[in-house]
Structure 1
Amino acid sequence: MTDKLDLAYMPAATQLRLYRSKQLSPVEVLEAQLARADEVEPKINAFAWKFYDEARKAARGAEARYMSGEARPLEGVTLAVKDDTDLEGKATASGSKLFLDYVARTSHPMVQRFLDAGAIVHAKTTVPEFCICTVTTSHHWGTTRNPWNLEYGPGGSSGGSGAALAAGTTTLATGSDSGGSIRIPAGVNGVCGFKAPYGRFPTVVPWTLSPQSVYGPMARSMTDLATMYDLGNGPASYDHTALQKNTLPDPMRTVAGMRIAYSPDLGFAHVDPEVRANTERALKHFEALGAHVEEVAVNWTDEKVQEAFHGTLLTGSWRAFFDQIQEMISDPKEVSDQYHSLYQKMLSLPKNAAETAAMLVAEMNTEIHAIFSAGFDAIVSPTTGLPSIPAATNHATDSVTINNMTVDSMTGWCLAHPFNLLYLYPIVVAQTGRAANNVPTSIQIIGDRYDDNTVFALASAYERVVEPLYKDGAFPDFRSEI
């Protein structure tokens, strides 16, 4: 690996240590990542908007702050912001041509906290239109691809953030998660992501009315993810849903003696043998750390999960958003097939869909609550049933096959979305290796309600003993180049 790649993939924790000792400049790392982006962006297409000149100026300013002893906690570290998240003075298109002219007046509060800590935003990352896909493709931005194998997608909807982290074109990134949109891209790109419990990170109207939809951090290491967590969470005067600040303990709790409940499929999912094998190998690392792993049954069904998911999201804030989009459309071709498909599904829901969904969610929560009440500290399952799906998958027309079973191409290969319905449970995604197609696989570590500290402790301890993806030249090789 060349020196420039060393810099491009260097963790924020290492950067900050070298910046403070004046052995490295933020200018050097930024230039290495921009050079990396020039090389790989034509292949992966992870950046929607680029702010390179502004970033270079900010990097020089960060260098000066280090020289004068005035550096802030994230001074000079690059941050890519998902393009559904406001950045003051920049467009927030959410992957749609309809919003290309929308310019944010203020930055999203989580982003603002990272900026106030000295982070440098050099790009906004691609998303599928309206962030409603588990691949990242849109009429305006085209298709984003997985750096580990370009034939496959980077997940969605934070696919651009996941791909940029995997490709070494940013150090940190932001995501949002309404149905797995942080966890799926983190998992299939081999990076870390945190699905926060509702209220952990402040948010903005109308998403304060949608507890299923949360914002959160993504990074290549748990140390960096924990830093973003500590800086980004906490109350805000304008958000009545924001929780009091939680700071992760240092050192984190030991995992020896913890009890982990392992569900291979959460009862409803089809899981590829490679994914299951990698998951079970990961569990052995937890056992080596002194944790106790026990397989448990979760009796969810696909029918129950789908009815609960659509009956919840398509009758709440998404319903109002979709109605707004309908009024903006002048030509049906302006928006994706997936949007039209979901809109029709929304219109076809029975009048009692929300009430039925609420009852199903209560039943689902009863099962999960019983597991924690039995003394388990966390639940582990695969994040996805497949390593990934083809990059240009059209959810409205294409299906996906797992173990010779045809499943829905949007949610049928994922195990993440039920926990947007059970939105008080914190979840960290950790990598478990790679499949034969070179695409990473992962687990989601699910903690009890608001027990963020436990999932960070488990994921951090696991990361210290597992073979890392980003080390000694083990980086995406852009195989199957197209």
Structure 2
Amino acid sequence: MTPGAAIAVDSLALLPATEALAGFRSLEISPVEVLEAQIQRIQEHNGDRETGINAFTETLFDSARAQARVAAAQYVRLAREGGVVPALLGLTVATKEKHGIAGLKLEQGLAAHRGRIAPVDHPVVERLKAAGGIIHARTTSPEFSCATTTHSPMWGITRNPWNTRATPGGSSGGSGAALAAGFTTLATASDIAGSTRIPAGFTGTVGYKAPYGRIPGAGVLAADWYRGDGPMGRTVADTALLAGVMSGRHHTDHGSWGENGINPLAAGDVAGLRIGLSLTLGNYPVAAEIRENTLTVARALEAAGAVVVPVDLPWTTARITETTFAHFGHILGPAMATETAGTESELAAYTARFIKDAAEAAQRHSLLDSLAMDHALQAELAAAMAGLDALLCPTSAVASLAADGDYLDGIDTARGHLGHYWEAHLTSAFNVANRCPVFAVPSGMSNDSVPTGVQVIGHPFDEAMAFRVAAAVESLVPGPGFPLLG
């Protein structure tokens, strides 16, 4: 029996990346054991596209097992001979399907893309492989990553491990669900209006939206300044580890910048820091339990020596939605219409609605109008954050959304009706202000048995402060743990 064999399967599957790496280096556990523990959980609990968690578009267990054996042997050799250990050696990473892997499908959930094959690795995938990460599964998203729930005709319904009637969020819902369920150690995500942070909030995990260009992208839409790829994990330290691997200038993306391989996790407490608090970002109808959980985080920061400053922003949900859709109307909406031409009858209802809403917004606003709207929000955020080190606010206004929901008629909340489902989340303003680093970290549980989260927003490009405050929140207000899977 190997030393790690005495550790419970569930404990191995849920081991944080930083602890797994320490165990690998000491030879107390093996990458093979962790992978097999996670495969066992997947086989027992992921289920099918209609009733299960359904976090994956496909699994790559055979190749992952071969890589895990190689990594285990490499750790034995390194223990004997010394040397540099690749940053992710032996760790499992579930990648969002849109992060193409050469020779595998790249369909983005769309009938129009059925059977498409990625010709090359996405820059993120290239870096994961170079760092020794093991890609054992690919995660679900809504069609073209355009919704805040995760279901599609192609891949079925992805459900929240905490409450399978609820969604894990979108668009990186498969990644959030896989992390919460112990199906993977790390995961990749992307974010154009909250697609990393919303799933993190709803699954009790951690998601990071880096400043625009910090993580290289691929394809024409990587030039969209609302967009970005990013890391997800179960802890801030794990997310920082993956961010260091993913980040930095890449030769194929001249919009990317900074050094690669730098772990951005910053040491230091919050004593003396000035942290702004906005419970509603203007008029978001934040549920009472989410407000209270956010206040719990703020009180903990105050008790740790931070100065918490109430912040008022002159924003409305309708204005932020109009601003973002004016932008989408000139970029993402037309791209989606072009990509799906001829298959309109096969689109999910939310995809057709997105294309329609974007087109109508483009009729109301020119691209120049859109830039002016962006600039106004950015200027108001800059004024609100003047003299502060970071800003804190909830991630979502609602406690949960239905796993199969389209919400074409908006969302009813305890504080009134929202005309558009995107108004249920306090995330998209920080894609307008996309040079700001933003974390989503857990803040507690809702009455729906779904986790709640807060966002930590840093000043443009100030990753160190965002990581510092996020780590403090995590240490002061521990996350919800892990769901009991039936």
TM over 0.5: yes
- Greater shift in the superposed pair: 334-343 or 38-47: 334-343
Code of the residue aligned with 1:63 in structure 2: it is: A
1:422 pairs with one of 407, 426, 433: 433
2:275 pairs with one of 260, 282, 301: 260
Alignment map for 1:31-430 (pairs within 5 Å): 31-42=36-47, 43-69=52-78, 71-245=85-259, 247-248=262-263, 252-316=267-331, 318-329=332-343, 332-349=344-361, 350=363, 352-373=365-386, 375-396=387-408, 398-408=409-419, 410-430=421-441
Code of the residue aligned with 2:140 in structure 1: it is: T
* Contact map agreement 1:424 1:450 (CA 8 A) in 2: yes
Which whole-Å CA distance do the structure 2 matches of 1:441 and 1:261 have between them?
A: 19
Q: Which runs of 5+ in 2 are unaligned?
A: 1-6
Note closer, same or farther for the CA distance 1:39–1:448 as it changes in structure 2 (3 Å cut): same
For the residue of structure 2 that corresponds to 1:376, the secondary structure is: coil
For the residue of structure 2 that corresponds to 1:327, the secondary structure is: coil
**Cα shift readout 1:225-275 (whole Å, capped 9, x = no counterpart):** 111112211111221111122735665233211101111111031100000
1:452 aligns with 2:463: yes
Code of the residue aligned with 2:483 in structure 1: it is: P
* Contact map agreement 1:133 1:395 (CA 8 A) in 2: no
Code of the residue aligned with 1:423 in structure 2: it is: N
* Contact map agreement 1:426 1:452 (CA 8 A) in 2: yes
Q: Percent identity?
A: 35
Which whole-Å CA distance do the structure 2 matches of 1:236 and 1:249 have between them?
A: 18
For the residue of structure 2 that corresponds to 1:323, the secondary structure is: helix
Code of the residue aligned with 1:230 in structure 2: it is: G
The Cα shift of 1:133 comes to 0.6
2:447 pairs with one of 436, 455, 458: 436
**Number of paired residues?**
470
TM-score by length of 2: 0.93
* Contact map agreement 2:272 2:305 (CA 8 A) in 1: yes
For the residue of structure 1 that corresponds to 2:285, the secondary structure is: coil
Code of the residue aligned with 1:255 in structure 2: it is: V
1:12 aligns with 2:23: no
**Cα shift readout 1:146-182 (whole Å, capped 9, x = no counterpart):** 1000111000000000000000000000000011000
Which whole-Å CA distance do the structure 2 matches of 1:439 and 1:59 have between them?
A: 33
Note closer, same or farther for the CA distance 1:60–1:258 as it changes in structure 2 (3 Å cut): same
Which whole-Å CA distance do the structure 2 matches of 1:128 and 1:283 have between them?
A: 33
* Contact map agreement 1:187 1:441 (CA 8 A) in 2: yes
* Contact map agreement 1:307 1:357 (CA 8 A) in 2: no
- Residue matched to 2:3: none
TM-score by length of 1: 0.94
Code of the residue aligned with 2:149 in structure 1: it is: V
Code of the residue aligned with 2:472 in structure 1: it is: A
Which whole-Å CA distance do the structure 1 matches of 2:103 and 2:175 have between them?
A: 20
**Cα shift readout 1:8-44 (whole Å, capped 9, x = no counterpart):** 1001111111111111110100000000001111120
Which whole-Å CA distance do the structure 1 matches of 2:93 and 2:340 have between them?
A: 33
1:476 aligns with 2:486: no
- Residue matched to 1:23: 28
Code of the residue aligned with 2:453 in structure 1: it is: S
For the residue of structure 1 that corresponds to 2:423, the secondary structure is: coil
**Cα shift readout 1:54-81 (whole Å, capped 9, x = no counterpart):** 1111111111111111642211100000
Which whole-Å CA distance do the structure 2 matches of 1:223 and 1:336 have between them?
A: 37
* Contact map agreement 1:153 1:391 (CA 8 A) in 2: yes
Note closer, same or farther for the CA distance 1:250–1:308 as it changes in structure 2 (3 Å cut): closer
Which whole-Å CA distance do the structure 2 matches of 1:387 and 1:353 have between them?
A: 35
- Greater shift in the superposed pair: 286-295 or 213-222: 286-295
* Contact map agreement 2:399 2:447 (CA 8 A) in 1: no
The Cα shift of 1:303 comes to 2.5
Which whole-Å CA distance do the structure 2 matches of 1:320 and 1:344 have between them?
A: 10
Code of the residue aligned with 2:107 in structure 1: it is: A
**Cα shift readout 1:257-300 (whole Å, capped 9, x = no counterpart):** 11011111110311000000000001111112211101111011
Which whole-Å CA distance do the structure 1 matches of 2:68 and 2:406 have between them?
A: 40
Code of the residue aligned with 1:411 in structure 2: it is: W
